[in-house]
Amino acid sequence: MKNIIISFFKKLGLRPFLKNIQKSINYERSITLNSKKFKTLQLYGAVCVVNEPWMITLLDNILKIKSKGIMDVGVNIGQTLMEIKSLRPDIPYIGFEPNASCVMYVEELIRINKFTNVTLVPVGLFKEDGLFTLDLYYDDMTKSGGSIIQDYWAYTKKNPVFRKMVVPVMSFATINKSIPSIDYDFVKIDVEGAEMEVLETLIDEIVLRKPIIVIEILSAYSEENTLRVERQNRILEIVNQLDYKILLIQEDEDHQLKALKSITFFDVNADPNQCNYVFYSNDDSEKVNTIFEKYLK
């Protein structure tokens, strides 16, 4: 029926009108992850759709090594939260998200699913405290891709800033004074350019806890993109300082986990669609090699 309605509006040239109607209707819907049913929301056009099967496989295996708790830096609208809850419903989770629209959405997601052991902190994790400008590149308040790093997409000239939003950021030390940290040993970082600052504010925690880290670091495209290249070089310094190793996550055409490739540097010409990595302590090498044996290359 839905396809018939869409086809009807399209023939009349009213597809944009239909999209506006869809954005104005809020409702709950069901999704299935790992044979478990969850509720998700269509809320002012935003909807949490989990479409990263590689991440589910990766998380499932990481949780065989590290399962004390999860720190999610860059929650967006709860994709990783849903994936985690489908695998380990009771595992403690703390998430950081500066975008107030995303926070509102995820709070509703937590409520309708009756999730427990979840702490959502409505700030961005950074190396300092303050108010920053979040650049949004789409006419969508919750779409991933917004960055607090100014001119992050300037080199490619593909994504002009659509609008700006003022958001709060805090260092981990400041946050930890008010909100005692959970006992975690896995960190996911997806912050659209601010990875360096997140790692810098977490250095002492990483030394203490030795978490496995799954992190997105977008391609620099070229040596001329000095903003990204310099940030990648600093991240590599931090990784080496911590005595950590790096695996490049490779997906197949169906977005399933294909391989984990050991690397020692970030390729500035890396495939922009293959830009997720695993960082892990050298102390965990034996466990990682055993659990991910069939994926390592």
Q: Are strands 186-189 and 212-216 parallel, antiparallel or unpaired?
A: parallel
Predicted pLDDT of residue 10: 62
User: Residue 266 region, left (φ>0) first, then alpha (ψ -120 to 50), else beta?
Assistant: beta
Q: For residue 221, give both structure tokens.
A: 């495209």
pLDDT band at 68 (very low <50, low <70, confident <90, very high): very high
Per-residue exposure over 151-170, b if at least 16 CB sit within 10 Å of its own CB, e if not = ebbebeeeeebeeebebebb
Task: Give the model confidence (pLDDT) of 189-226 as tens digits.
Answer: 999 999 999 999 999 999 999 999 999 999 988 888 88
Residue 293 confidence (pLDDT) above 80: yes
Residue 20 confidence (pLDDT) above 80: no
> Rounded to 5 degrees, what angle do the CA atoms 125, 185, 194 make?
25
pLDDT band at 19 (very low <50, low <70, confident <90, very high): low
Q: Taking a C-beta distance cutoff of 8 angstroms, is the pair 142, 114 a contact?
A: no
Beta-bridged to residue 73, according to DSSP, are 96, 189
In the chain, where are the structural domains located? 13-291
Task: Give the model confidence (pLDDT) of 170-189 as tens digits.
Answer: 999 999 998 877 899 999 99
CA separation for the pair 254, 26 (Å, rounded): 30
Q: Are strands 276-281 and 244-251 parallel, antiparallel or unpaired?
A: antiparallel
Q: For residue 225, give both structure tokens.
A: 């993109």
Of 53-67, 69-83, 125-139, 236-250, the one with minimum mean pLDDT is 125-139
> Rounded to 5 degrees, what angle do the CA atoms 51, 52, 54 make?
150
Percent of the chain with pLDDT over 70: 90
Highest-scoring range by mean pLDDT, 3-7, 16-20, 162-166: 162-166
Predicted pLDDT of residue 21: 57
Predicted pLDDT of residue 243: 98
98 vs 9: which has the higher pLDDT: 98
Task: Give the model confidence (pLDDT) of 113-172 as tens digits.
Answer: 999 999 999 999 999 999 999 998 877 667 777 889 988 877 776 678 888 999 999 999
SS3 for the chain is: CHHHHHHHHHHCCCHHHHHHHHHHCCEEEEEEECCEEEEEEEECCEECCCCCHHHHHHHHHHCCCCCCCEEEECCCCCHHHHHHHHHCCCCCEEEECCCHHHHHHHHHHHHHHCCCCEEEECCEECCCCEEEEEEECCCCCCCCCCECCCCCCCCCCCCCCCEEEEEEEECHHHHHHHCCCCCCCEEEECCCCCHHHHHHHCHHHHHHHCCEEEEECCCCCCCCCHHHHHHHHHHHHHHHHCCEEEEEEEECCCCCEEEEEEECCCCCCCCCCCCEEEEEEHHHHHHHHHHCCCCEC
pLDDT band at 23 (very low <50, low <70, confident <90, very high): low
Percent of the chain with pLDDT over 90: 68
Top-level CATH class of 13-291?
A: alpha beta
Q: Are strands 212-216 and 163-170 parallel, antiparallel or unpaired?
A: unpaired
Predicted pLDDT of residue 170: 98
